[in-house]
Chains A and B, each alone.
Chain A
């Protein structure tokens, strides 16, 4: 009777727990979605930044022309005169996803514009990502940890920075794909079901479609398999989880045009094949070991080892030869810069010039993952206490992603989910121990027998950990106290390691029960820390990461200022220039120009052709005449520069100018970086070098600048400009936006030969005179 009642109570509790976690998950999804809407509320529903504009344009094309035209799309409005095969060079996951959503909504008679769908794709997928995190962490450490991790991921600033509404970029869906792939891998590993293995391969396919970061998966999973084999954890579930994934995953990856044969030809993928072979050898060994007697097995080993060594050497030699014969040893530049952080800055300025490819600073860790940084070590320890296949995978994941995030700021994004999972585990185990010891103490105070209390608590735990194997639950209970200790100590001034271990063993003896006061304080501290995290995340979402960067705002004592210069300039281009006019600008603005102004550009953010970019860089760093010739040969009609000197917008072209010089100089050696630096310092004031003061970028940026305030004070560089009065001979200013942030110049047509000669001689005399007048006028002011 009593047993039946207890069982009924347990199932009731179980059902109640399920309903509760369902609603919690629902709320987490709502939270993940709504915390990313600050950008829409504070600004408007627009696409952000640079790359999203390209994705938006591709999505528009997809919805208008259909999927087959999309695969065959040759875009002649960019990289003029080369063009770009968009269908074969783009990761199609994001656009296909948004296109499908749009199509689905339209067929349901919900007429949303493509832009709206694109803006809200990222928040929707971040809700999916937090649910995937729940599933993954649940596989590793049970439902409690899963819910905590999902809540943490829903608002981790690092992920918010890439997935606010409007940030329509590959990472928006890729993080979801990454987590769901890992979840399905772990799930297959835990269940050994071919069904999940198939799903895993399909999730991996979605990841390959979405982001170049899929190489992280296809290297991390083999690493984990290898780790399992080396530590003697081989099981047939491991074989089922890995072998079908390699075959199916390789085939599926080869289906994506941008990857194609790279899936078998580049060494990013070789690790998976090598491990595939090793796994088969190991599987065979285990099988033979199973059917032979130990004595015969020893004989077999000695025989096979001698033969096998020879074969192994041959295979390795072939592999090495294959790798060595492929160019750049089969590694792409971006991957090489991951392995050797100094590689990019040494050889590929174009990769190094992108700020998100720089190594992060310490504050950015605190900014992006906040308190998670302190919880992660605790989570790692928690994972080790009963080391299962799943938890070893998570540990491996966090270790590798910490390294990668240290190499490139951008990969902080891969690190964030791992940090959330670890912190989720740490937090939930800490809460577990605190609440359990409070419960024990309460029961003891109330005079209940300890056995009853023990039953109650274990019943509490088991329904939560339905995924965790039953035989492990005893161990988990034991490890919790130590876990707890660690947590508490971290909060309380981080005591020495030695103390920790001694305290750990002590509490283990005391059956994980902590004193009442201690656990209450610990609980309060944990809640306090969680509250701090939430406050920080909301602040980051609202203030730091919501700016669309095409519309800027600033607060002064006079009130709110809105700088909408970019759209003003692009609209001008759209309405006042011919459809086929070519616009030259630094590559940062290429995607926006094609998407918003619908004009052909010379280079854009795709950066696939270094020489072409170097040509534009050279033109920008050449004197006017040479620049005019370069641009004219490229059929350019308009030149667009971004200038922040008037309003203090720091990421303008003058600040990026050194990269133009470097990239240009990398291909055209007559551009030398030292010519633009005075004693190794980059300056634009009167101390600047003559090369600097005469280059096109300087002239286009500061033309007529002195007319604004009479002194030519640059608010970004906080100095007066060096050369204030000059005329342009080969360019004419056609448009400057309200706050001077974008200036558009037109190339003057070449003159008739005779007049041109006269002009030339005239301009020759006029240029020095203007210089002279400039210097003459400069002196009295100084």
Chain B
């Protein structure tokens, strides 16, 4: 049983990797960006757990900045993904402009909130 699940998992990883290798480079870059943002958020959470959350608004704005960036990047990825039929008539330039605007608002708010 354990062996079969192990085998399954291996097969799964293989197919996942091969499927992912087919994604375009631009999307991969966005994925990297998302991963980096999430990783930064995790670091901050760990730091908060060790050191304490004293300037709570700083912690909050730090983590939410990372989470927000990641979420917005995911949205961008959804919109520019060619496989996604829902956004066929949305040009990638428009999607990117929206993304920049949203990020601008997000980081203006964060600068305000940073304390």
Contacts and interface: CB of A to CB of B under 8 A. Distances in A.
A665 to B, nearest CB: 39
A261 interface: yes
B57 interface: yes
A203 to B, nearest CB: 12
A367 interface: no
B95 to A, nearest CB: 7
Interface in A184-201: 192-195, 197-198, 201
A240 B72 CA distance: 8
A455 B79 CA distance: 36
Contacts of A197: 75, 102
Contacts of B16: 288, 291-292, 296, 300
Contacts of A243: 71, 74-75
Contacts of A235: 86
Interface string A251-267: 11011000001001000
Nearest to A237: B86
A669 interface: no
B54 interface: no
B36 interface: no
Nearest to A299: B8
Interface in A238-285: 239-240, 243-244, 247-248, 250-252, 254-255, 261, 264, 283
Given A194-B99, A254-B113, A292-B15, A248 B105 contact: yes
A255 B113 contact: yes
A198 B109 CA distance: 12
Nearest to B71: A243
Contact of A255 (B72, B75, B99, B112): B112
A290 interface: yes
Interface residues of A, number: 35
Contact of B105 (A201, A290, A291, A296): A201
A71 to B, nearest CB: 13
A192 B102 contact: no
Interface in B91-108: 95, 98-99, 101-102, 105-106
A244 B67 CA distance: 9
Interface in A286-345: 288, 290-293, 296, 299-300, 302-303
A243 B83 CA distance: 21
Interface residues of B, number: 41
Give the one of B5, B22, B60, B75 with max A CB within 10 A.
B75
A236 interface: yes
B106 A194 contact: no
Nearest to B66: A247
A136 interface: no
Given A251-B106, A303-B12, A195 B98 contact: yes
Contacts of A250: 64
B110 interface: yes
Interface string A451-494: 00000000000000000000000000000000000000000000
B12 A296 contact: yes
A376 interface: no
B95 A247 contact: no
A31 B75 CA distance: 41
B86 A236 contact: yes
Contacts of A264: 60
B61 A251 contact: yes
B11 A192 contact: no
Given A236-B78, A244-B102, A251 B64 contact: yes
Contacts of A300: 12, 16
Contacts of A293: 15
B25 interface: no
Contacts of B9: 303
Nearest to A202: B105
Nearest to A243: B71
A201 to B, nearest CB: 7
Given A251-B64, A303-B5, A192 B105 contact: no
A193 B15 contact: no
A194 B75 contact: yes
A194 B79 contact: yes
Contacts of A195: 98, 101-102
Given A244-B102, A261-B56, A288-B16, 12 more contacts: A194-B102, A198-B101, A202-B105, A236-B78, A236-B86, A236-B87, A244-B68, A244-B75, A248-B109, A251-B64, A291-B20, A291-B23
12 contacts: A194-B79, A237-B86, A247-B67, A247-B68, A247-B71, A251-B110, A255-B112, A261-B57, A283-B74, A290-B83, A296-B11, A303-B8
In the complex, the 5 A-B pairs of residues with the closest C-beta atoms, listed nearest first: A194-B98, A247-B68, A291-B19, A236-B78, A243-B71
Interface of A: 192-195, 197-198, 201-202, 235-237, 239-240, 243-244, 247-248, 250-252, 254-255, 261, 264, 283, 288, 290-293, 296, 299-300, 302-303
Interface of B: 5, 8-9, 11-12, 15-16, 19-20, 22-23, 56-57, 60-61, 64, 67-68, 71-72, 74-76, 78-79, 83-84, 86-87, 90, 95, 98-99, 101-102, 105-106, 109-110, 112-113
